[in-house]
Structure 1
Amino acid sequence: MATGKLAVVFGGSGFVGRYVVRELAKRGWRVRVAVRRPHLAQFLRPMGSVGQIQLKQCNVRHRPSVADALHDADAVINLVGLLHQTGAQTFNAVQSAGAVAIAALAKEAGAETFVHISAIGADAESDSLYARTKGEAELAVKNAFPEAVIMRPSIVFGQEDSFFNKFANLARLVPALPLIGGGKTRFQPVYVDDVADAVCEALVRPDAKGRIFELGGPRIYTFRELMELMLRETGQKRLLAPVPFPVASLIGFFAQIVGRLPFLEPVLTADQVKLLKKDNLVDDSGAVGVLGDLGIDAQTVESVLPAYMVRYRKYGQFTKQAA
Structure 2
Amino acid sequence: MASVTASTTIPNWPAQSLHQLLPAANSANMVLALFSRGALRSSVAAGVSSKRSLSDVAITRTGKTILRTEGGRSSLGGHTATVFGATGQLGRYIVNRLGMFNELKRMSVWDGSDSLYLARQGCTVVVPFREEMTKRHLKLTGDLGRVIFVEYDLRNTASIEASVRHSDVVYNLVGRDYPTKNFTLEDVHVEGTERIAEAVAKYDVDRYIHVSSHNADVNSPSEFFATKGRGEIVARNIFPEATIVRPAPVFGFEDNLLLKLASVLNLFTANNMQEKFWPVHSIDVGAALEKMLYDDSTAGKTFELYGPKQYSLAEIAALVDKEIFKKRRHINVPKAILKPAAKVLNDVLWWHTISADEVEREFIDQVIDPEASTFKDLGIEPGDIANFTYHYLQGFRSSNYYDLPPATEKEKKEDKKYIHVLDEL
TM-score, scaled relative to structure 2? 0.70
Please point out which of 309, 314, 323 is paired with 1:219. 309
For 2:248, the aligned partner's letter is S
Q: What runs of 5+ residues in structure 2 fail to find an aligned partner? A: 1-55, 57-67, 69-76, 100-119, 411-425
- Residue 346 (structure 2) aligns with: 259
Provide the rounded CA distance (Å) in 1 between the counterparts of 2:388 and 2:215: 25
- Residue 176 (structure 2) aligns with: 82
What SS class does the counterpart of residue 83 from structure 2 fall into? strand
- Residue 392 (structure 2) aligns with: 308
What SS class does the counterpart of residue 260 from structure 1 fall into? helix
What SS class does the counterpart of residue 380 from structure 2 fall into? coil
Provide the rounded CA distance (Å) in 2 between the counterparts of 1:61 and 1:122: 23
Q: What runs of 5+ residues in structure 1 fail to find an aligned partner? A: none
* Structure whose alpha-carbon radius of gyration is higher: 2
Q: State whether residues 186 and 222 of structure 1, in contact with CA within 8 Å, keep that contact through their aligned partners in structure 2.
A: yes
The worse-fitting range, judged by mean Cα deviation, of 35-44 and 295-304 is 35-44
- Residue 243 (structure 2) aligns with: 149
What SS class does the counterpart of residue 128 from structure 2 fall into? strand
Pairs aligned (count):
313
- Residue 18 (structure 1) aligns with: 92
Please point out which of 95, 100, 114 is paired with 2:194. 100
Cα deviations by residue, 1:260-303 (Å, 9 ceiling, x for unpaired): 3454212x3221222222211433x3x00011111111011022
**C-alpha distance 274-56 of structure 1, shift in aligned 2 (>3 A):** same
**C-alpha distance 249-102 of structure 1, shift in aligned 2 (>3 A):** farther
The worse-fitting range, judged by mean Cα deviation, of 309-318 and 292-301 is 309-318
Provide the rounded CA distance (Å) in 2 between the counterparts of 1:94 and 1:61: 9
For 2:341, the aligned partner's letter is F
**Does 1:116 pair with 2:207?**
no
Provide the rounded CA distance (Å) in 2 between the counterparts of 1:49 and 1:249: 52
Superposed, 1:122-201 pairs within 5 Å as 122-171=216-265, 174=266, 177-201=267-291
The worse-fitting range, judged by mean Cα deviation, of 255-264 and 297-306 is 255-264
Provide the rounded CA distance (Å) in 1 between the counterparts of 2:146 and 2:154: 23
**Does 1:289 pair with 2:379?**
no
Cα root mean square deviation, aligned: 1.8
Cα deviations by residue, 1:163-190 (Å, 9 ceiling, x for unpaired): 211121113xx3xx34532222211000
Provide the rounded CA distance (Å) in 2 between the counterparts of 1:259 and 1:289: 36
Provide the rounded CA distance (Å) in 2 between the counterparts of 1:43 and 1:169: 23
The worse-fitting range, judged by mean Cα deviation, of 108-117 and 55-64 is 55-64
Q: Percent identity?
A: 29
Larger RCO, structures 1/2 (Cα 8 Å, 6+ apart): 1
